[in-house]
């Protein structure tokens, strides 16, 4: 009798764990593979850096580098041309996809394949300095502010 009770208890415990394990996946990849939903924040990200395209299970092509103002303008242009509210993420959002347990690049390679291990712009200007803005260095996941230079872009939008 104790063996049967133990087996039932174990079965019930496993049933309780399975839904937790399934929801533990941090990212949900869209059916066409071009977008990733962060299940923690609800944000939807373009899977590839701008300039790259998703093809054959990875991001191909060359990521474009943009000056800061051009990055903001590119996001606005993408929103207008696609009818989807794409935008440059703020620094908190962008840093939320950095994974400091990885390096070169410091990001989940399954969710964000072929990400350049370099700087990406956020939409967050550095307070008090018109020539500085915040970015994330996807080589190691560091967050810092930099002079307005040319860096990569990954677009985001609010979830449904």
Q: What percent of the chain has pLDDT over 70?
A: 84
Whether the predicted pLDDT of 64 surpasses 90: yes
More confident residue, 99 or 129: 99
pLDDT range class, residue 131, cuts 50, 70, 90: confident
**pLDDT of 40-49, one tens digit each?**
999 999 999 9
Flag whether 10 is in a domain: no
Which domain range does residue 49 map to? 16-157
Nearest Cα residue to 97 out of 109, 84, 86: 109
Token pair, residue 120, equals 């990406």
* pLDDT for the residue 86: 98
* pLDDT for the residue 7: 40
How many structural domains does the chain have?
Answer: 1
Nearest Cα residue to 72 out of 36, 122, 34, 118: 122
CATH number of the domain at 135, please.
Answer: 3.10.100
């Amino acid at each position: 009798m104790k063996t049967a009770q133990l087996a039932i208890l174990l079965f019930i415990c496993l049933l309780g764990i399975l839904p937790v394990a399934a929801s533990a996946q941090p990212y949900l990849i869209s059916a066409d593979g071009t977008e990733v939903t962060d299940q923690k924040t609800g944000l939807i990200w373009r899977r590839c850096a701008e300039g790259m395209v998703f093809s054959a299970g990875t991001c191909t092509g060359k990521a474009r580098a943009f000056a800061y103002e051009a990055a903001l303008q590119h996001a606005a242009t993408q929103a207008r041309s696609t009818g989807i509210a794409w935008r440059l993420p703020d620094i908190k959002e962008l840093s939320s996809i950095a994974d400091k347990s990885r390096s070169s690049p410091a990001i989940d390679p399954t969710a964000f394949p072929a990400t350049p291990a370099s700087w990406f712009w956020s939409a967050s200007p550095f307070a008090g300095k018109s020539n500085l803005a915040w970015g994330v260095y996807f080589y190691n996941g560091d967050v810092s502010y930099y002079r307005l230079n040319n860096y990569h872009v990954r677009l985001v939008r609010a979830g449904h």
